[in-house]
Amino acid sequence: MAIQKIFSVLFLQLVFAFLLVELTNAGGLQLGFYQRTCPDAEFIVHQALYRYISRDRTLAASLLRMHFHDCFIRGCDASVLISSAGKNQTEKDAIPNKTLRGFNVIDAVKSALEKKCPGVVSCADVLALVARDSVLMVGGPHWDVPTGRRDGRVSIANEALFNLPPPFANITVLKQQFAGVGLSVKDLAVLSGGHTIGIGHCTTISDRLYNFTGKGDTDPALDPRYAAQLKKKCKPGNSNTVAEMDPGSFKSFDEDYYTVVAKRRGLFQSDAALLDDAETRDYVKLQSRTQGSTFAQDFAESMVKMGNIGVLTGKQGEIRKRCAFVN
């Protein structure tokens, strides 16, 4: 009798454990989430994206940035893709997102998925997969993307305006904002390395070049010779010209960004700020000194971590038919 009770208890514990595992899987992201419902999903994303990146490599930085901007506001729920309607101004129209490019690429990828697997793959997963493949297509690392995100229904411009890390942020603000979404100081140093690809608008660095403290001065943290070069390109009031964030290799994903920052040639104040904290400074110097010995692996890990921020899963949210509009 006692043995029967023991077996009964063990059986119940085993059943409970299996139920717990099932609930955990149902409520979170997982690799191969679309294996049964849309087995070719990742191939379709890659193929549709390649048509654009192969013609314009600069789109890679834009699409990586779009995923970053999405995850920092309400989590990775594709809220950055929703178009404004009437008086409702969405994240897409917030000042920090005015320079985002590549919405047409996301729409094309989503359209390709809808033709094959209608109503199955979320726009949030499209953003995560596109960011990964964009980096890969310009020489960066590959990482496995857990999927199963669902799309949010809310998007508010002011949330993006006040909660996205600005290019003029100091290290204290950056650390606070990253911590606020569950990312570490190391993640801050690693994900900043995404600036190895892409450009910055001259208007973003105008004060840094011409009026840093309101007295017509230049940011002393910026290498004077590099500041002089930037001033030749970015004249006061110039709103159309852009500058490369990683001069010479801004279309290729590599470790050069850290060498640039170590030489005090980071384009934004937020880049220069990495030298103002012991942990981030040590990471910059390590990657600069060792030609990015751990950067690729670190970036892959931090991207997976970022892609998990505030995700909607299970029955939360929805699967949008068109990424710019809630169903």
Burial of 172-211, coded b for 16+ CB within 10 Å and e otherwise, reads eebbebbeebebebbbbbbbbbbbbbbbbbbebbbbbbbe
Whose tokens are 């931090």? That residue is: 302
Residue from 69, 142, 195, 201 carrying the catalytic annotation: 69
Plot region of 59 (φ>0 → left; ψ -120 to 50 → alpha; else → beta): alpha
Active site residue 67: no
CA distance 312 to 225: 48
Contact criterion met (CB below 8 Å) for 101 and 62: yes
- Contacts of residue 172, Cβ cutoff 8 Å, sequence gap at least 6: none
Contact criterion met (CB below 8 Å) for 292 and 140: no
Active-site residues, by number, are: 69
